[in-house]
Structures are given as structure tokens and as C-alpha cells.
Amino acid sequence: MATLLGMLVLAGALTFWAGATVVGWSRARNAGRLPRPPRPRPSPARLAALTAGLALVAGGAVHAYGLTYLPTLFPEDACWFNAGAKVSPDSSGALPVSLVCNGEEVVPGWVNPALLVLGGTGLAATVTSVVLAARARAERRVAARTDAGDDS
């Protein structure tokens, strides 16, 4: 009981300290004592790369969720836990994610379309990012040549 009470007091004290720190930072910034940090605009290539990364991570999470339905060491347990039947699966596959027990698909119907959309989005955003980065690099080279030619 004493340990629980000590943890509650510690949690309350840490929460109060964190709140007071944030309020202090906010007041200092509003009073003009702290400069605002510069925030450069991200390039379109960087935004496309971030979109690609987010789509691929989300696709990986959806695929990992779908894989939780598949059998591991004891195949009959997959049907028992997911479909309520103590039988071996009729078929199963990791891509597209599928588990068929007693003629019924057990994996939710949204998993494979979500994988397709997220994978396509990730691929398209990756290609877009590469193209935009190459185009920006070419524009910088042309600008550098133009600037060097004006000095001569």
C-alpha cells in the first residue's frame, strides 16, 4: 500500500512539474524572451518521401495485423480461435492474407484492399519523390551554370 501511495505521489509531482515547465516556456515565449525557431518549408520531394514512408509503415502494420490470423505451430488452433471450429484450415496464405476454415474466409475483408491501396500509395509517392528530387537538382545545376556564366 505504501508503494502504491508513493507511486501516486511521484506521478502527481512529475505531472505538476511538467505542466509548470510547459506553462513557463509558454509565458516566456509570449513575453518575447525566447525567439521563435525558424521553420523552413519542406520541399515537395520531402513531403512525398514522408507520405511514402507513412503509407509503407501503415501497410506493414495492416499486414502484421492480417498475419495474426494465420496458423503457426498448431494449424487447428488458428481455426479454433478465429472461426470457432476445431479443424485444420482448408487453405491459408500470407499475400494475399487468407485463412479459410470450413469453406469460410476468416481474415477481415478490408485487410487485402487496404494493403493494395497503401502499397500503391507508397510506391507512387516514392517514385514522385525521386522525380521531384532529380528535377530540383537539375534546376539547381542550371541556376549554378547561369550564375557562373554571368560573372565571366
Instruction: Extract the C-alpha cell encoding 34.
Output: 525566447
Q: Cα–Cα distance between 29 and 10 in angstroms, integer?
A: 29
Could you report the per-residue pLDDT of 111-139, keeping only the tens digit for each?
Answer: 999 999 999 999 999 999 999 999 999 99
91: part of which helix (H) or strand (E)?
A: strand 91-94
Q: Indicate the pLDDT class of residue 93, thresholds 50, 70 and 90.
A: confident
